[in-house]
Amino acid sequence: MTAPTFKDHFSRQAADYSRYRPAYPSALIDYVASLAPSRSLAVDCATGNGQAAVALAEHFDHVIAVDASPAQLQQAQPHPGVRYERALAEALPVADGTVALVAVAQAIHWFDFDNFHAECRRVLMPGGVVAAWTYTVFRAGGAIDEVVDRFYHDTIGPYWPPEREYVQQGYRTIPFPWDEITPPAFQLQTEWTLEQVIGYFASWSSVQQYRVRHDGRDPLPAIERELASAWPVARTVRLDWPLYLRVGRQPRRL
């Protein structure tokens, strides 16, 4: 087994990441929790701002939320049922066979897949569950989508890390060596202002890389001007975010 490495694409913009990320549907959290064989312990990997961990804490006695980025952990939401620790998803600070659910929200594409799945096999109890979900760029319809697509594919497209392709493919091509369960469909929707959308774009790793490669030049003011012509002034717009979930179970007899 090779030593895992940490691909840190988000520490620089940890505050934006914490403030401008859409909330996961409660129905999704309810569903993955319902599959767990116990409500004793869940682990949230690459927790970021702690959004998924805090939601899981409503269902589990204890949640351990790990992230390799100290900057991300500093922004994480405090909760009495969540213990935050600095750790890699491939080296979890938990004992063998003690975890009912390993959850990964919008992050598994960064992992060393072989090491991560081996670590899940170590920590999961028989019948334990692995759940990984992701969302792609929101859809608003009409002119807004046209502007966003040009920005996503043309302006910052060359600056996405290669792992972004897994997200674009809805996680279908990620190795997932578990007794897979076919989940129901879930909807992720937000009502956002233009300011929130620009803040969300600022959290993208590709935007940060664009700035690095262009001597600090910011691509966001241009798209903000373009979107302003299609966005209702000082109002929110409903955004639909395509959401994808892979979920599977540890065999009960190993």
194: domain CATH number is 3.40.50.150
Q: What is the mean pLDDT of residues 27-35?
A: 98
Among the listed residues 49, 82, 48, 50, the one whose alpha carbon sits nearest the alpha carbon of residue 68: 48
Full-model pTM? 0.89
Residue 7 lies in a domain: no
Pairing of strands 188-192, 82-86: unpaired
Question: Predicted confidence band at 149 (pLDDT cuts at 50, 70, 90)?
Answer: very high
Domains in the chain, number: 1
Question: Predicted confidence band at 253 (pLDDT cuts at 50, 70, 90)?
Answer: low
Q: What is the C-alpha to C-alpha distance for residues 44 and 120, in angstroms, rounded to an integer?
A: 12
Kindly provide the residue ranges of all beta strands, DSSP E only, lying in the chain, ordered along the sequence: 41-45, 62-67, 82-86, 99-105, 124-135, 179-181, 188-192, 237-241, 243-249
Residue 100 lies in a domain: yes
Handedness of CA 122, 65, 182, 34 (dihedral sign): positive
Q: What is the C-alpha to C-alpha distance for residues 38 and 47, in angstroms, rounded to an integer?
A: 21
Domain that holds residue 49: 14-249
Question: Predicted confidence band at 232 (pLDDT cuts at 50, 70, 90)?
Answer: confident
